Amino acid sequence: MAGNEMIILHVLGARPNFVKAAPVIDALAARGAAQAVVHTGQHYDEKMSEIFFRELGLPEPDVNLGVGSGSHAAQTAALMTGLEAEFLRRAPELVVVYGDVNSTIAAALVAAKLHLPVAHVEAGLRSFDMTMPEEVNRRLTDQLSALCLVTSPEAIGHLAAEGIDPARAHLVGNPMIDTLLTNLGHFDTAAVRAAHHLPERYVLATLHRPANVDDPATAAALVTHLHGIADLADLVIPLHPRGRANLLAAGLDTHQGVHVLDPLGYIDFLAAVRGAAAVVTDSGGLQEETTILAVPCLTVRPNTERPITITHGTNRLVTLDDLVPETRKALETDRHGTKRTPPLWDGHAGERIAEVIQTWRRESTR
């Protein structure tokens, strides 16, 4: 970065952010934009963080704040303190945030206080469940954003209903899908199965939401149902650091059909997803990725901020009690039906986002 050149500053904190940011950073670089990357260190496990930068070809972060874990209040306060210092030092022209993690709302709050404009990638998604910290984060971030970059059409309506000027909202498509399509040829399911001694047919699970894993009794009930799935087909579960202790304490790994793995890098994880007979999750992004990979997805949540994965994809919401019968049904379903792809999930969202940002830059300097 030369002299006092104005920069676009990307704030990344957790693995879904990295996947969404890669095509945006590439597209802006192709247009000659000066950029910097702040990694907050919200996800600090090597498999949850650094390996993603390598695999996705992201530039090395200009700084890693190393915030780590903590309560929502403690983590968000540490994020805001670290980000304020970076924003004051760099004076960015635009702060770009992604998704709905604590790093996202922390960056938006600090930028707003410093009168720095914010662009929110994945704006307008709503679960309408204010008990979810992610819902709080995404709603507030949108209110503070000059550019709301939207991944699916219904989000435009949500923003309008909340009084956000429609001129701030831009339907651009889903940059997470850009990354998936770019790397599709690298998803080698056979290699992942061999490396981890997995069977040919398996269900893959990822579970980390507080409502599912934080309470020991709920985690124990979840484990009972996961064992029920393992009675139908082997269950492969890369364990997120959150909830790991409670799930293992409840005996997750005591069933011979359960394969507990450490977190996987992006390429290996999506290779495992691609080869799964079905996926059980409480993740947001995985609902989108299974939609494109045409893998049946059972989301263990009462709601989703991504309903388009139900109307245009393979996703279904399930309760704990429904989990085993719905998994049985998914295992018996022909995966080769008609595939519907949500609008603009075509691998070019990063380019559209870069164009919106560049247009905003030109207009804001008039």
**Catalytic amino acids?**
208
For tokens 């995966």, name the residue: 335
Residue 347 backbone class (left: φ over 0; alpha: ψ -120 to 50; beta: rest): left
Q: Tokens at residue 271, please?
A: 């290779």
DSSP single-letter state for residue 71: -
- For residues 295 and 273, what is the distance between their CA atoms, to the nearest angstrom? 8
Q: Tokens at residue 154, please?
A: 């219904």
- For residues 86 and 137, what is the distance between their CA atoms, to the nearest angstrom? 21
- For residues 47 and 241, what is the distance between their CA atoms, to the nearest angstrom? 11
**What residue spans of the chain are helical by DSSP H?**
15-30, 50-56, 72-90, 102-113, 133-143, 154-161, 175-183, 189-196, 210-213, 216-232, 244-249, 266-275, 285-293, 308-311, 320-331, 349-364
From the centroid of its chain, how far is CA 343?
Answer: 19
- Phi/psi for 262 (5° steps) reads -70, 165
For tokens 């069977």, name the residue: 199
DSSP string, 313-356: SSEEE--HHHHHHHHHHHHTS-S-S-----TT-SS-HHHHHHHH
Residues contacting 338, CB < 8 A, separation 6+: none
CA atoms in the 13 A half-sphere facing the CB of 336:
0
User: String of b and e for 174-205 (b: at least 16 CB within 10 Å)?
Assistant: bbbbbbbebbeeebebeebbeeeebeeebbbb
